[in-house]
Amino acid sequence: MPEINLEWYRSFYWCAKTGSLSRAAGKLHITQPAVSHTIKQLEDMLGGPLFIRGARGVQLTAEGELLYRYVEQAFNFVAAGEKKLLEMHQLAFGEIRIGAGDSLCKHYLLPYLERYHRAYPQIRIRVTNRTTPETLALLREGAIDLGIVNLPAADGRTEIAVSSPQQDCLVGGRKYAGLAGRPLKLAELAQYPLLMLEGGTSTRRHLDRHAESCGVKLEPELELGSMDLLADFAKSGLGLAFVVRDYYRGELLAGDLVEIPLAEPVPPRGIGIATLHGVPRSEAAKRFLALLPAAGAGE
Domain ranges within the chain, ordered by starting residue:
6-89, 98-165+277-291, 168-267
Q: Which pLDDT does position 219 carry in this prediction?
A: 95
The 10s digit of each residue's pLDDT in 137-146 is 999 888 999 9
> So what's the architecture of 168-267 in CATH?
3-Layer(aba) Sandwich (3.40)
CA 166 from centre of chain:
22
Beta bridge partners of 273: 148, 161
CA–CA separation, 154 vs 135, rounded Å?
A: 12
Nearest-CA neighbor of 206 among 264, 269, 256?
269
**Identical fold, 98-165+277-291 and 168-267:** yes
Weakly modelled stretches of the chain, pLDDT under 50: 295-299
Beta bridge partners of 243: 169
Run of H or E residues at 183: none
Q: The domain 6-89 is classified under which CATH number: 3.20.20.120, 3.40.190.10, 1.10.10.10, 3.10.20.600?
A: 1.10.10.10
The 10s digit of each residue's pLDDT in 151-175 is 888 777 888 998 999 999 999 999 9
Give the long-range contacts of residues 33-36, CB within 8 A, separation 24 or more. Answer: 35/11
CATH fold for the domain made of 98-165+277-291: D-Maltodextrin-Binding Protein; domain 2 (3.40.190)
pTM above threshold 0.85: no
